[in-house]
């Protein structure tokens, strides 16, 4: 890296000429950016999921879940847009404007 980068802002103790120093800096600064999802999957069966196709939580009354935890499998991208669509669908359902179709049964 020495010769390509002259200085890293906020890393005054970093020596770019020393690989061990660069390794320590990277280990200290780098972190993951994962998108946890699928921890409370949607399913038609209470035995294999947490919510049904209308986002009702099995075993409760009046509780719906609408976040990334209900996504049954990885979307292979940022979950932001998927969560926005889930929110839109739940909002339409609660407003009474949703189409009567089951998302889970089509999968």
Cα 56 to Cα 75: distance, rounded to the nearest angstrom? 22
Closest CA relative to residue 64, chosen from 74, 72, 52, 81: 52
The C-alpha angle 103, 105, 107, rounded to 5 degrees, equals 75
The catalytic residues are 35
């Amino acid at each position: 890296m020495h010769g390509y980068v002259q200085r890293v802002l906020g890393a005054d103790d970093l020596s770019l000429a020393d690989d061990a120093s660069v390794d320590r800096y990277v280990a200290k600064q780098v972190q993951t950016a994962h998108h946890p999802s699928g921890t409370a999957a949607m399913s038609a069966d209470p035995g294999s999921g947490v919510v049904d196709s209308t986002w009702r939580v099995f075993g409760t009354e009046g509780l719906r879940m609408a976040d990334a935890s209900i996504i049954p499998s990885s979307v292979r991208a940022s979950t932001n847009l998927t969560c926005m669509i889930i929110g839109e669908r739940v909002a339409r359902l609660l407003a009474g404007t949703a189409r009567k179709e089951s998302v889970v049964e089509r999968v």
